[in-house]
């Protein structure tokens, strides 16, 4: 029978004890999408500077937030990321910007949450920079794509195809 690892026997929230876990290279890949009006995506993708700055701002916001994951997610462990990237794909046909983040560390616990936080805050930053012209923007499909490292090994999302 599966049990929620953050809920102990008495039903109290707890941080999983990773004291005895070995230090290994951990990696996680997460994705998400920001869906907007065609005019908004054009304003972002046209013109050199505006596009550069909207996505450059969102990239930095994602990277910086990833480093503070353990302050935001109550039961997350502190860890020192050795790398985190945030990349974007502008999909004008589907009126969405796709976001992918890859996080890495040498540690005793995984970095899924760091990659997911990077994607989420990058998406929210895009919203913030465009909300005056398009309040209806929707953030969707934030999910883990794959992870590796640690006892549970490699995990990959099934049933999806295509690169971001």
Contacts of 61 (CB under 8 A, 6+ apart): 121, 122, 124, 125
Query: Is 64 one of the binding residues for a copy of itself (CB under 8 A)?
Result: yes
Contact between 97 and a copy of itself by CB under 8 A: the answer reads no
- What's the min distance (Å) between Cβ of 90 and a copy of itself? 13
Shortest distance in whole angstroms from residue 42 CB to a copy of itself: 10
Residue 94 engages a copy of itself in binding (rule: CB under 8 A) = no
List 29, 41, 63, 97, residue binding a copy of itself (CB under 8 A): 63
Q: With respect to a copy of itself, which residue has the nearer C-beta, 53 or 92?
A: 53
Q: Which of 41, 97, 99, 117 binds a copy of itself (CB under 8 A)?
A: 117
First to last CA, the chain: 36
CA distances from 17 to 14, 23, 106, 155 (A): 9, 14, 17, 22
- The crossing angle, in degrees rounded to 10, of helices 112-130 and 48-66 is 140
| Candidate list 91, 128, 134, 141, residue with the active-site label | 128
Q: State the helix-helix crossing angle for 38-45 and 48-66, rounded to 10 degrees.
A: 90
Between 93 and 152, whose beta carbon lies closer to a copy of itself? 152
Residue 24 as a binder of a copy of itself (CB under 8 A): the answer is no
- 141 has catalytic annotation: no
Q: Measured between alpha carbons, how far is 62 from 17 in angstroms, rounded to an integer?
A: 27
């Amino acid at each position: 029978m599966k049990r929620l690892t953050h809920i102990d026997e008495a039903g109290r929230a707890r941080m999983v004890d990773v004291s005895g876990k070995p230090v290994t290279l951990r990696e996680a890949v997460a994705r998400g999408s920001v869906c907007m009006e065609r005019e908004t995506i054009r304003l972002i993708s046209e013109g050199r500077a505006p596009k550069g700055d909207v996505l450059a701002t969102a990239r930095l916001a994602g990277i910086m937030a990833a480093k503070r994951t353990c302050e935001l997610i109550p039961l997350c462990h502190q860890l020192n990321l050795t790398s985190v990237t945030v990349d974007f794909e502008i999909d004008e046909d589907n009126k969405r910007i796709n976001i992918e983040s890859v996080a890495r560390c040498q540690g005793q616990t995984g970095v899924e949450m760091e990659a997911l936080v990077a994607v989420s805050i990058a998406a929210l930053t895009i919203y913030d920079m465009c909300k005056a012209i398009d309040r209806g923007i929707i953030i969707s499909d934030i999910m883990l794509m794959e992870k590796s490292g640690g006892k549970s090994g490699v995990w990959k999302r099934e049933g999806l195809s295509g690169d971001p």
